[in-house]
Structure 1
Amino acid sequence: MERKFDFQPKLISALKNYSKEKFMADLMAGIIVGIVALPLAIAFGIASGVSPEKGLITAIIGGFIVSFLGGSNVQIGGPTGAFIVIVYGIIQNFGIEGLAIATVIAGIILVIMGALKLGTVIKFIPYPIVVGFTSGIALTIFTTQMKDLFGLTMEKVPADFISKWIAYFEHFHTVNPWSFVIGIVSILIIAVSPRFSKKIPGSLIAIIVMTVIVYIMRNHLGIAGIETIGDRFTINASLPQPEAISFNMETINLLLPAAFTIAMLGAIESLLSATVADGVTGDKHNSNTELIAQGAANIIVPIFGGIPVTGAIARTMTNINNGGRTPVAGIIHAVVLMLILLFLGPLTKHIPMACLAGVLIIVSYNMSEWRTFRSLMKNPKSDVSVLLVTFFLTVIFDLTIAIEIGLLIAMFLFMKRVAETTHVSVSKDEIDLSDEGEIHHDEEVLTLPKGVEVYEIDGPFFFGIANKFDDVMKIIGDKPKVRIIRMRKVPFMDSTGLHNLESLFRLSKAENIHMILSGVNEDVRRVLTKSGFDKKIGPDNICSNINEAVRKAEEAVK
């Protein structure tokens, strides 16, 4: 029997056969992932337009909920680079309160998607659209970091891509050479460190080294002008109190498009991360449970001032590579981050902004998937156009517009391809029975009586194919005495297909043409019965196979 509500957290099954060996593996993985997540959570928080501890709060609470309730054994949740653009835009337009409302609505959407078992549907979003999003977001993140990398003196950075670059060039004379050097050295440390240390992340090494150097430069060498986190933010190294979020229909209507973008982006990224993890571990995640967990995290985190949560591919892979195999590792990662916030939080104020810019530039490079982007450019024109449209919409306009139009394009492409697989053929004199699926036949050719035409639909009979059926009818032109609509290869029929069939029946009846259906399967017959069409055409005119339909047609033409 199929489950009505598909919610099965992996933590429950993981704890049934849990052992000390598994705990030690999870403990090591959780500690390492927590350390890896630290600089990223701070960087993503600041880049999104909130204070650094908000990024950490998101990783702590969101990471805990995703692991506690999630449908993947190894998924690590938290803030990610993909959300920087959309979060920054929402804060600019609607403030922190607007972001909280949008995130909660997004969480509700994700829970509903999981409850309606839409987890598997998300996986069918075309790959060029996903690459277009991520590459566009990567370029946008790279663009947002130019001010801090070069230490430019600017009161306000414009929101849109082109205006940003214009403003950068206008203020380029304010470059701080020290900031630029710190940013470049940070990038080099992150790029080179994997050759020397696989366990300790390059971003953490860069932050520690550059923070110490900048502290000495500022306090002992008298070098001023190098901006740090503490110059821009006041760090609150404590767990926040929950705050109520007020809703009204006006703000909901205003923020619904942004919330939908957060939900879709979160669903795509989380399930993509879980799928990649499955490929490495050989496990199988529950996509609907994962969506419900992501939704719950996004409903709760804003109450504590956090930003949107999703599955993070890089941190999830770090978890797997360091031995994490159950959700306990993700819970430990959240605990590690909480301890760092409480006991080492005040030290984060010394981190130079140029160093964080370097961290995010590496993140944007890794997100860019430029090799994949280049290889997709060799694909069919339809895929290339989808890739470029989503990429340029993401970069030049807005991620909300890009996701909405990208999904619209995906649906049109899907309908087009399904419609292309459905064919309508006409037989007037005889039917070849050598490849039949309805019933076994002794003869290989079935001769049709004069005045009988057989229209065979091969594929789904839905709104994308209804017009194709009409076109075939117009081409035939002449009027038979009997029309047999052969539906043995029709797996399903929607309301538009039914409407098309009813129109054909009315037209045939007006022209005194007898209509018979052949080879109708149970699903299609159920649609005909529910609509009452079976009574209109007459139950005797719905035949189980073509032989029966032709015998019925012979009686009608006599």
Structure 2
Amino acid sequence: MDRTSLKPSLLTELKKGYGAETLRRDLFSGLTVGIVAIPLAMAFAIASGTTPDKGLFTAVIAGFFISLLGGSRYQIGGPTGAFVIIIYAVIEKHGYDGLVLATVIAGILLIILGLIRVGSYIKFIPYPVTTGFTAGIALVIFSTQVKDFFGLSIEKLPPEFHEKWMEYFFSFHTLNPAATGVGIATVAIIVSVRRFAPKIPAHVAAIFTLTAAAWIFGIPAETVGDRFGALPTSFPMPQIPSWSIEKIRAVFPDAITIALLAGIESLLSAVVADGMTGSRHRSNTELVAQGTANIMSAFFGGMPATGAIARTATNIKTGARTPVSGIIHAFTVLIFVLFLSDVAEKIPLAALSGVLFVVAWDMSELKSFRRLLNAPKSDSGVLVLTFLLTVLVDLTVAVQVGVVLAALLFMKRMSDVTHVDYLTGNGGNEDKYDPDRISLYNVPDGVEIYEIDGPFFFGVADRLAGMLAYLQKSPKVFILRMRKVPAIDATGIHALEEFHHKCMNHNVPLVLSGVQEQPHKALRKFGFLNEIGEKNVTDHISKALIRAEEIMSKE
């Protein structure tokens, strides 16, 4: 599969031919995943501070468009746990209308990222950053579900993490034993089914069992219908959200976070699917599909969506062959909304909280978190900081700070692996096995040679600045070997220009040796080759030494 193409995987698969056996497999997988998605969509919506129908609408619309237009054969899209805290925060700050606008903007950003081919790079977000905010999200999801799990009488939960737990502490005497029993039973059933009957969807089994038990035995636990009333039995008409420049400015930081999370989660899910099946997804196509799906979800009264790893894995394990299974999954949820919403009203909220307790545990990646604590201090520091910012401050801040810190660490590491060596005089530090080591050549008196070893980026640029000052007297010619420089950026070129100017001020000609293809093209594009003179840029040290002798002979 051509990963640079923007052609949806659905078209590719249908062109190969679509037979009855493939349809049978996709139909079974789509129905199974659709049934699994129903309680999860409702649970994520409630945890996000909105109503369960919005989660269902998102599963239908986003799930359909992600499968229709996506770059993965197996991706299942919809509401996920990753978005719970950001949605909750946006609704708290800007209301549901603000969330809709932020989702549309995020969708537009995702489409742009896909069209400019950024999809291949988003997956390079550092592992400590993704692990830190994923673990933080898991803890926040867990903390938002304590009230319903134990049936506590709290009118409105405070948004802050520590205030929430203080409220739980002072309200724990209002615990509802019936709700607590439902919540514990839900977790127990999910764990048992996973262990003893792994082919059965554990979340569905738990919700079905506890809903039936609550209805038959009249268990006094609050249900979806008790809190939210009757769920819609029809699908909403699309509406363009109200907007203004002020509103866009207000929600734009949150839209960036939604877009970044959607991109990371969807591509991570697609990579997991590739690992399970041996297929290869199209990253940029997937981003365009995610962007379109989020825009359409917002138009139909939904919420942000992305690729769902657990549902995608379920799709694969139940035999899916093409994106048709994802489309069938969306229609399965739609049929439930249109004809079975009265069943959803009887689901105990404690059961949905039990499901989310397990989701939070699955998201926490506790083993990975512990292992990363033993990583180099820079990585473990980024992990802990991202985690704490997610839990105690805000996911938007956590993601942005985490990415910036990771970028700074990358700069430092690039600087650490690149060094400048003095190759002439007593300070020579050469590899004795190097066939082009300077000691094999006759270096004329007055010629000084330095070598840059490694990528010449902004983190290394300042090392050139004081190089002439280290020499006791100005050389007649200065040779800078660049044979070990695979790449140079604008800051590196600027530093090279500054160094050339210093050499000119000291009447010291500068000769470059062994310039590789990328640096050579970059230097030409910036006009530096014209400035230094083409004759002073050579492809080998022997030619650089000949050029140095030519320069000195003219003096």
The TM-score with structure 1 as length reference comes to: 0.94
1:319 aligns to what?
Answer: 315
Q: Distance in 2 between matches of 1:549 and 1:214?
A: 85
* 1:503 aligns to 2:491 (yes or no): no
- For residue 485 of structure 1, give the secondary structure of its aligned residue in structure 2: strand
The answer for unaligned runs of 5 or more in structure 2 is none
| Structure 1 SS opposite 2:420 | strand
Task: Please state if 1:143 is matched with 2:143.
Answer: yes
Q: What count of residue pairs does the alignment treat as equivalent?
A: 547
Q: Give yes or no for contact 1:30–1:332 (8 Å, CA) kept in 2.
A: yes
Deviation of 1:472 (Å): 4.7
Partner of residue 351, structure 1: 347
Note the alpha carbon deviations across 1:506-549, whole angstroms, 9 max, x for none.
11111111111112233322322232222221222112221111
Q: CA deviation at 1:174?
A: 1.4
Q: Which moved more, 1:488-497 or 1:296-305?
A: 488-497
After superposition, what is the alpha-carbon deviation per residue over 1:462-500, rounded to whole angstroms, capped at 9, x for unaligned?
211101333555444542111111112222222211111
Q: Which residue of 2 aligns with 1:555?
A: 550
Residue by residue, what CA displacement relative to the aligned partner does 1:43-99 show, whole Å, maximum 9, x if unpaired? 111111121111111111101111111110001000001100100110111011000
Q: Distance in 2 between matches of 1:475 and 1:264?
A: 46
Where 1:379 maps in the other structure, the secondary structure is coil
* Residue 434 of structure 1: how far off its partner (Å): 5.5
2:475 counterpart of 1:480: yes
**2:431 & 2:85 partners in 1: Cα distance?**
59
Give the aligned residue type for 2:457: F
Which residue number in structure 1 is paired with residue 104 of structure 2? 104
Distance 2:81 2:531 in 1: 58
Listed one character per residue, the Cα deviations across residues 356-412 of structure 1 (whole Å, up to 9, x for unaligned) are: 111100110111111121222222222211111111111111100100001011111
Q: Tell whether 2:363 aligns with 1:367.
A: yes
Structure 1 counterpart of 2:208, one-letter code? I
Aligned counterpart, 2:243: 247
Cα separation, partners in 2 of 1:45 and 1:418, compared to 1, 3 Å:
same
Q: In the aligned structure 2, how far is the partner of 1:496 from the partner of 1:436?
A: 31
Q: Distance in 2 between matches of 1:501 and 1:259?
A: 39
Matches within 5 A, 1:431-450: 435=434, 445-450=440-445
Residue in 2 that maps onto 1:376: 372
Alpha-carbon distance in 2 for matches of 1:475, 1:148: 69
Taking structure 2 as the reference length, the TM-score comes to 0.95
Question: Mind listing any 5+ residue stretches in structure 1 that lack a counterpart?
Answer: none
Question: What corresponds to 2:52 in structure 1?
Answer: 52
Q: Does 1:467 align with 2:462?
A: yes
Amino acid at match of 1:80: T
Matched, 1:169 2:169: yes
The equivalent of 2:424 in structure 1 is 428
Give the fraction of aligned pairs with identical amino acids, expressed as a percent.
50
1:336 paired residue number: 332
> Could you give the per-residue CA deviations for residues 339-368 of structure 1, whole angstroms, max 9, x where no partner exists?
111110122111111111111001101111
Note the aligned Cα RMSD (angstroms). Answer: 1.9
Say which SS state the counterpart of residue 171 (structure 1) adopts.
helix
Letter in 1 for 2:153: T
Say whether the 8 Å CA contact 2:153–2:174 is kept in structure 1.
yes
For the residue of structure 1 that corresponds to 2:25, the secondary structure is helix
- Check the 8 A contact 1:26/1:326 in 2, yes or no: yes
Aligned partner of 1:542 in structure 2 is 537
| Contact 1:66 1:294 survives alignment (8 Å) | yes
1:432 deviates by 7.2
Report the counterpart of residue 255 of structure 2 in structure 1: 259
Aligned to 2:127: 127
Q: Distance in 2 between matches of 1:340 and 1:385?
A: 46
Deviation track 1:448-467 (CA, whole Å, cap 9, x = no partner) reads 11111112112221211101
Residue in 2 that maps onto 1:198: 198
Distance across 2 between alignment mates of 1:518 and 1:194: 63
Deviation at 1:245, TM superposition (A): 1.1
The one-letter amino acid paired with 1:174 is: T
Match of 2:278 among 282, 285, 289: 282
State the shift of 1:212 in Å: 2.2
Deviations 1:320-352 (A, max 9, x none): 101012101111111111111111012211111
- Checking the alignment, whether the CA contact within 8 Å between 2:128 and 2:372 is kept in structure 1 is yes
SS of the residue corresponding to residue 464 of structure 1 reads helix
Partner of 1:425, secondary structure, is: strand
CA gap of 1:432–1:157, structure 2 versus 1, over 3 A, is closer
Deviations 1:4-50 (A, max 9, x none): x7412110111122221111111111111111111101111111112
Distance of 1:183 and 1:324 partners within structure 2: 32
